């Protein structure tokens, strides 16, 4: 398969996206957000339509023009005008910035108006007084107290049609989210706090309601019926409740408060004469709601037994004092291993968990035996595990991310499989499913995307700025070690114990010791804390390297755009990682030392955690996406054969995104009850960030315009990014509107959006970078045929997997639901499962691509180092590069430094003299921190205190001992450098230059021919 034939795939990409969008137009006949029954929900839907249509003004040109540009300016079309040096147009730049900004201003006015008018705290006017209902969230049921009627119900919320309903909500357990999509959307309910929701139904009817915030195994069953009825029928219903109900005394409330389903509560209380699955209470203490609310304000501790839903410590394997086994092994025991459950009355979940653990154990043993059999331990230790070379460290980051990617993709496919059969209950237990979505999110964010980004930054950035290494090579090694510790803990949790079930955000108090005393949350805490320290150190290292290590002559505005995105990423890392680390440590202090930062009682406030987490969480999106933008900039410029259009504009857009990323975190919890004005401010800020993002997309399109586009594998990924990412941007603008967020927050719509940003925006970029820079790192090109197959499977798989989730999200399906009862969800979930199978196939094709490329590497050698006619300094050296990178540091004379050198004839010249080069020595300190960090974390997780002390001491001693070493560098003689460099120059001189038409042919040995514009053709 040749590159030029690759343009035919564009029609396929457009077709698949169009088909998926067509699927997204399907809707359910049942009442929901897209089929509303109340004036509030109707206004919310109308606002969604307006915002979508306005945003399409900016999105549709991208979807329509990208295929046209790719076809019109394809490499083979020599009739199209080719302007390789066109890089700026003032009118075009004004339009690129002005049109999106104007659209955001228009949408912001709509946002302001709708957020004020549809504020859930705003009472609904009318001639009739509202029905007041006090709502208490329990595990896993809703209690409705009618103070005026002095009755209460569970499972049924009745109210007169045409009359406003005023809800006051709290919980007597963990945080929950109360949702009635057909009437008003949702609002969070939190212990010790009151939130409010107002709605009405113009006509009688029955509407479903539920909890959309995950709170344990019975989460999917926490539903209720919202019944609008006539005034006469409502009075009759009140009479029925009083005649058939039970008294809601403290004993009955204690039964309701036990962690269990509504059906279990009905059975326990013996509800005779009531509708199936519903509880009626004919009397209730008027002060009960206030008592529930105020017990968390008393200043006295609320023990687990008094918090409905809290678990028994001893049932979770708490340390038994005086036990010799516990003194040695902490809370480790036979039941800590999944193999035990697999042999004792196993469920399907038990067998799957044991199988996954076996894969980890067997995989580790096979790797150990293979390295031993090949006698590679010495090479592995000397050249890799103890290396301080930024290139080897970068490769190890990428290998780590690929290993974790395999697990993350498999877990994602397993979740889609469970949900495809969710109507009949599926094959996983609720706990197993919640563990899967927790590990999947944690892995994909912290141990796939971040190591991928760190790996490419480590490898490429020093080469692009003409540096020998990063500023702090040993700290770089330690950063990798700390990241590896976090990834190792997640993998170990498959074999020993279980991971957290609190999601990748680990919201307390659900992850606190009262509600989740097992080792799962501790695995999450230490994986995140330790990896977070490593990421912070990396941010410092990258920023200092860019500021201090640039080649002579290279100012900031001459750096490749990838390096600008790295600089902004480093700044975000430095300022965004500490809030996450602090929040995780505070959660750990709550669990280990009984602090009360985020608990329900003694002044704890989980809202502080939410703010701290998302102070990291949203900048995190951009610290992942910004390097991806840099990669797309390199790919688009190289494969279009043009200088990057709008370089200065792209730099400004990058810096704008970095700054704005710190101003938008609150949009992750619009539904937690803050004032409308606050939601308006953060909603507008969230939409503003779309302006510089859109400018970037338009600048890349302008770069391709009048270029000579080669549809190599990286460009296929980039094409998928263009078309899919702008749809994610559209849904991002939608979610920035609080009015709409009240309906789609905590639904699968949110999951679809998040993946719609991160998979095309980050994963596709990393896979494009893998194909783009692999020849530089290893000296041979990757197989194009299997690269195309893998890329197309990723693109199609994404579309089929996540676009259906927009549909069921609009229909009201909560995220993190392991099962569902609405048959309308099933068709879309089956389509999503098909997409997940395509993604699994894409992962398999990627593995085959690696295998075929390694097998045929001799015919793909590119020792000369420039297989793609690259434009920046990394292409000016051999492939793979020497350990010192550059024989002599290059002098930069402008942007696109290597292109300038090739065009002006000084690209492959020998310097007048060579000098000795000093490099840092290898050191085992990173491995000591890695092993010590794993042992320390496992000791803290399992309460093995002697091991914690020993491992901490070992790391401290190693760190102090290294500080006394003086032989920290080694010198490479100038004669050796000269010999290697001249040999490479001789090889380059003997290598025939190849045109871009032969880029994927065997004759491409890494020396690109200079291709100048032919005659200027038509537009």
Per-residue confidence (pLDDT) for residue 31, from 0 to 100: 67
Per-residue confidence (pLDDT) for residue 385, from 0 to 100: 97
- Provide the percentage of residues in the chain whose pLDDT is more than 90: 87
Nearest of 711, 561, 674, 679 to residue 626 by alpha carbon: 561
Element (H, E) at 877: none
Per-residue confidence (pLDDT) for residue 300, from 0 to 100: 79
Rounded CA gap, 158 and 151, in Å? 12
Instruction: Look at the chain and count its residues.
Output: 1019
> Is residue 314's pLDDT more than 80?
no
pLDDT tens digits for range 750-779? 999 999 999 999 999 999 999 999 999 999
Rounded CA gap, 470 and 467, in Å? 7
> Is residue 188's pLDDT more than 80?
yes
Greatest distance between any 2 Cα atoms in the chain = 102
DSSP 761: I
* C-beta separation of 924 from 965 below 8 A: no
Rounded CA gap, 310 and 257, in Å? 10
Burial of 250 (0-12, 13-18, 19+ CB in 10 A): exposed
Q: Which residues, in sequence order, are CB contacts of 564 under 8 Å at separation 6+?
A: 556, 630, 650, 651, 654
Element (H, E) at 51: helix 39-72
Rounded CA gap, 222 and 135, in Å? 13
Per-residue pLDDT averaged across 354-374, rounded?
95
SS3 content of the chain, % helix, strand, coil (to 5): 60, 10, 30
Per-residue confidence (pLDDT) for residue 1016, from 0 to 100: 46
DSSP 406: H
CA atoms lying within 13 Å on the CB side of residue 514: 26
Q: What is the secondary structure of 253-301 as a DSSP string?
A: HHHHHSSS-HHHHHHHHT--SS-TT-EEEEEE-TTHHHHHHHTTSSSS-
Q: Which residues, in sequence order, are CB contacts of 55 under 8 Å at separation 6+?
A: 103, 107, 729, 730, 733, 734
- Provide the percentage of residues in the chain whose pLDDT is more than 70: 95
> Is residue 807's pLDDT more than 80?
yes
Two tokens, residue 802: 């996540």
Average of per-residue pLDDT values in the chain: 93
Map residue 659 onto helix, strand or coil. helix
Per-residue confidence (pLDDT) for residue 568, from 0 to 100: 98
Rounded CA gap, 503 and 740, in Å? 23
Nearest of 618, 218, 694, 653 to residue 429 by alpha carbon: 218
Nearest of 755, 757, 773, 770 to residue 839 by alpha carbon: 755
Domains, the chain, in order of start with CATH, read 131-294 (2.60.40.420)
Rounded CA gap, 604 and 299, in Å? 10
Map residue 783 onto helix, strand or coil. coil
In terms of DSSP H, where are the helices of 779-894?
Answer: 784-810, 826-855
> Is residue 9's pLDDT more than 90?
no
Element (H, E) at 715: helix 713-735
Residue whose pair of structure tokens reads 């504009």 in the numeric block: 649
In terms of DSSP H, where are the helices of 972-1014?
Answer: 974-990
Rounded CA gap, 987 and 776, in Å? 16
What secondary structure, in 3-state letters, does 182-234 show? Answer: CCCEEEEECECCCEEEEECCCCCEEEEEEECCCCCCCHHHCEEEEEEECHHHH
Per-residue confidence (pLDDT) for residue 322, from 0 to 100: 55
Q: Is 1001 left (phi over 0), alpha (psi -120 to 50) or beta?
A: beta
Per-residue confidence (pLDDT) for residue 32, from 0 to 100: 79
Rounded CA gap, 633 and 769, in Å? 11
Rounded CA gap, 1016 and 1019, in Å? 9
Residue 1008: phi and psi, rounded to 5, are -90, 135
Residue whose pair of structure tokens reads 């809703």 in the numeric block: 142
* Residue 24 banded pLDDT, cuts 50, 70, 90: very low
Q: Sheet of 205-211: strands edge to edge?
A: 156-160, 223-229, 205-211, 176-180, 185-189
Rounded CA gap, 642 and 87, in Å? 9
Least reliable range by pLDDT among 163-167, 302-306, 869-873: 302-306
Strand bridging mode 131-138 / 141-146: antiparallel
pLDDT tens digits for range 365-402? 999 999 999 999 999 999 999 999 999 999 999 999 99
Per-residue confidence (pLDDT) for residue 25, from 0 to 100: 47
Q: What is the secondary structure of 468-513 as a DSSP string?
A: SS-S-HHHHHHHHHHHHHHHHHHHHTTTSS---SSTTTT-TTTTST
Exposure letters 25-36 (e unless 16+ CB within 10 A, then b): eeebebbbbbbb
Element (H, E) at 697: helix 690-704
* Residue 1010 banded pLDDT, cuts 50, 70, 90: confident
Rounded CA gap, 428 and 407, in Å? 17
Least reliable range by pLDDT among 162-176, 315-329, 515-529, 823-837: 315-329
Two tokens, residue 733: 């603008």
Per-residue confidence (pLDDT) for residue 29, from 0 to 100: 52
* Residue 456 banded pLDDT, cuts 50, 70, 90: very high
Per-residue confidence (pLDDT) for residue 30, from 0 to 100: 64
pTM of the model: 0.95
* C-beta separation of 936 from 951 below 8 A: yes
Rounded CA gap, 97 and 103, in Å? 10
Rounded CA gap, 931 and 480, in Å? 12
Two tokens, residue 444: 């994909």
Burial of 358 (0-12, 13-18, 19+ CB in 10 A): middle
Two tokens, residue 368: 């150990």
Residue whose pair of structure tokens reads 């406030």 in the numeric block: 605
* Residue 111 banded pLDDT, cuts 50, 70, 90: very high
Q: How many helices (H) and strands (E) does the chain have?
A: 31, 14
Residue 781: phi and psi, rounded to 5, are -80, 150
pLDDT tens digits for range 240-268? 999 999 999 999 999 999 888 888 998 89
Angle at 919 between CA 914 and CA 921, to 5 degrees: 145
Rounded CA gap, 773 and 714, in Å? 10
* Residue 412 banded pLDDT, cuts 50, 70, 90: very high
pLDDT tens digits for range 118-153? 999 999 988 889 999 999 999 999 999 999 999 999
> Is residue 959's pLDDT more than 80?
yes
Per-residue confidence (pLDDT) for residue 126, from 0 to 100: 83
Which sign, positive or negative, has the C-alpha torsion 281, 282, 285, 289?
positive
My answer on whether omega of the bond before 560 falls inside 30° of 0, hence cis, is no
Angle at 399 between CA 398 and CA 405, to 5 degrees: 85
Exposure letters 724-733 (e unless 16+ CB within 10 A, then b): bbbbbbbbbb
Q: What is the secondary structure of 424-448 as a DSSP string?
A: GT-SS-HHHHHHHHHHHHHIIIIII
> Is residue 580's pLDDT more than 50?
yes
Map residue 811 onto helix, strand or coil. coil
């Amino acid at each position: 398969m040749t590159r030029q034939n690759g343009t035919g795939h564009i029609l396929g990409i457009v077709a698949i996206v169009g088909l998926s969008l067509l699927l997204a137009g399907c809707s359910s006949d049942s009442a929901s957000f897209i089929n509303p029954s109340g004036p509030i929900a109707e206004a919310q839907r109308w606002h969604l339509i307006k915002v979508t249509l306005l945003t399409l003004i900016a999105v549709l040109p991208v979807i329509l023009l990208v295929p046209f540009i790719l076809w019109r300016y394809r490499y083979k079309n020599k009739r199209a005008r080719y302007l390789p040096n066109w890089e700026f147009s003032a009118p075009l730049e004004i339009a690129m910035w002005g049109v999106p900004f104007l659209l955001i201003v228009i949408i912001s006015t709509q946002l302001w108006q709708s957020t004020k008018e549809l504020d859930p705290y705003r009472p609904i006017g009318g001639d009739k007084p509202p029905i007041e209902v006090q709502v208490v969230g329990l595990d896993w049921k809703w209690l409705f107290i009618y103070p005026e009627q002095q009755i209460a119900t569970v499972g049924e919320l009745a109210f007169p049609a045409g009359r406003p309903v005023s809800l006051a909500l709290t919980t007597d357990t963990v945080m929950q989210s109360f949702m009635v999509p057909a009437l008003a959307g949702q609002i969070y309910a939190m212990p010790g706090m009151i939130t409010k929701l107002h709605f009405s139904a113009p006509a009688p009817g029955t509407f479903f309601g539920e909890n959309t915030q995950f709170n344990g195994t019975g989460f999917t069953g926490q539903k209720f019926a919202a019944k609008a009825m006539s005034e006469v029928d409502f009075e009759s219903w009140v009479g029925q409740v009083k005649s058939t109900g039970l008294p809601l005394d403290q004993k009955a409330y204690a039964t309701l408060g036990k962690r269990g389903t509504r059906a279990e509560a009905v059975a326990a209380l013996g509800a005779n004469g009531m509708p199936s699955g519903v509880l009626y209470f004919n009397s209730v203490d008027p002060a009960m709601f206030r008592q529930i609310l105020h017990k968390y304000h008393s200043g006295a501790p609320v023990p687990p037994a008094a918090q409905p839903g809290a678990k028994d410590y001893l049932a979770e394997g708490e340390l038994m004092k005086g036990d010799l086994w516990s003194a040695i092994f902490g809370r480790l025991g036979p039941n800590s291993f999944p193999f035990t459950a697999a042999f004792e009355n196993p469920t399907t979940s038990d067998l799957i968990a044991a199988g996954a653990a076996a894969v980890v154990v067997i995989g580790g043993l096979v790797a150990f035996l293979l390295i031993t059999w090949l006698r590679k331990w010495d090479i592995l230790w000397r050249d890799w595990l103890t290396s301080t070379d930024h290139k080897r460290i970068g490769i190890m980051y990428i290998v780590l991310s690929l290993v974790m990617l395999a697990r993350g993709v498999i877990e994602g496919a397993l979740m889609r499989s469970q949900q495809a059969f969710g109507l009949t209950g599926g094959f996983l237990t609720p706990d197993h499913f919640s563990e899967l979505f927790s590990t999947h999110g944690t892995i994909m964010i912290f141990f796939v995307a971040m190591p991928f980004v760190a790996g490419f930054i480590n490898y490429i950035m020093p080469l692009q700025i003409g540096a020998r290494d990063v500023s702090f090579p040993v700290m770089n090694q330690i950063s990798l070690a700390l990241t590896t510790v976090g990834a190792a803990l997640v993998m170990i949790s498959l074999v020993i114990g279980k991971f957290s079930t609190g999601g990748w955000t680990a919201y307390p108090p659900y992850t606190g010791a009262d509600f989740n005393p097992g080792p799962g949350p501790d695995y999450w805490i230490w994986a995140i804390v330790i990896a977070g320290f490593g990421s912070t150190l990396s941010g410092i290292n990258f920023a200092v390297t860019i500021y201090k290590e640039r080649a002579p002559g290279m100012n900031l505005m001459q750096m490749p755009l990838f390096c600008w995105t790295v600089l902004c990423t480093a700044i975000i890392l430095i300022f965004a990682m500490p809030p996450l680390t602090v929040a995780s440590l505070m959660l750990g202090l709550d669990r280990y030392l009984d602090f009360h930062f985020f608990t329900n009682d003694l002044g704890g406030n989980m809202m502080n955690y939410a703010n701290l987490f998302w102070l990291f969480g949203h900048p995190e999106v951009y610290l992942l996406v910004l390097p991806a933008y840099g990669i797309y900039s390199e790919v688009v410029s190289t494969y279009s054969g043009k200088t990057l259009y709008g370089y200065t504009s792209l730099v400004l857009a990058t810096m704008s995104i970095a700054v704005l990323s710190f101003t938008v975190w609150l949009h992750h919890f619009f539904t937690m009850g803050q004032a409308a004005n606050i939601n308006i401010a953060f909603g507008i800020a969230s939409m503003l960030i779309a302006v510089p993002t859109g400018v970037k997309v338009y600048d890349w399109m302008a770069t391709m315009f009048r270029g000579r586009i080669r549809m190599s594998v990286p460009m296929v990924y980039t094409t998928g990014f263009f078309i899919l990412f702008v749809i994610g941007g559209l849904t991002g603008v939608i979610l920035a509107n609080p009015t709409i967020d009240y309906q789609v927050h905590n639904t699968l719509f949110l999951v679809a959006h998040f993946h719609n940003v991160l998979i095309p925006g980050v994963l596709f970029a990393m896979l494009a970078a893998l194909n783009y820079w692999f020849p530089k790192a290893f000296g041979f090109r990757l197989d194009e045929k299997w690269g195309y197959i893998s890329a197309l499977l990723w693109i199609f798989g994404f579309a089929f997997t996540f676009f259906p989730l927009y549909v069921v999200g609009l229909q009201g399906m909560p995220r993190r639901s392991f099962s569902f009862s609405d048959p309308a969800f099933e068709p879309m979930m089956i389509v999503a499962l098909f997409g997940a199978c395509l993604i699994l196939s894409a992962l398999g094709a990627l593995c085959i691509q690696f295998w075929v490329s390694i097998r045929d590497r001799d015919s793909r050698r590119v020792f000369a180092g420039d297989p793609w006619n690259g434009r920046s300094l990394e292409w000016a050296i051999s492939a793979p590069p020497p350990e010192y990178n550059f024989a002599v540091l290059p002098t930069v004379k402008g942007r696109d430094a290597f292109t300038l050198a090739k065009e002006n004839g000084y690209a492959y010249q020998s310097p007048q003299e060579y000098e000795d080069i000093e490099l840092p020595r290898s050191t085992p300190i990173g491995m000591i921190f890695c092993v010590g960090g794993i042992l320390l974390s496992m000791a803290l997780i399992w309460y093995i205190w002697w091991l914690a002390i020993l491992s901490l001491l070992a790391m401290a001693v190693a760190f102090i001992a290294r500080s006394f070493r003086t032989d920290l560098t080694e010198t490479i003689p100038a004669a050796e450098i000269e010999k290697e460099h001249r040999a490479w120059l001789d090889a380059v001189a003997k290598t025939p230059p190849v045109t871009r038409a032969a880029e994927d042919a065997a004759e491409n040995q890494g020396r690109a021919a200079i291709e100048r514009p032919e005659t200027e053709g038509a537009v």
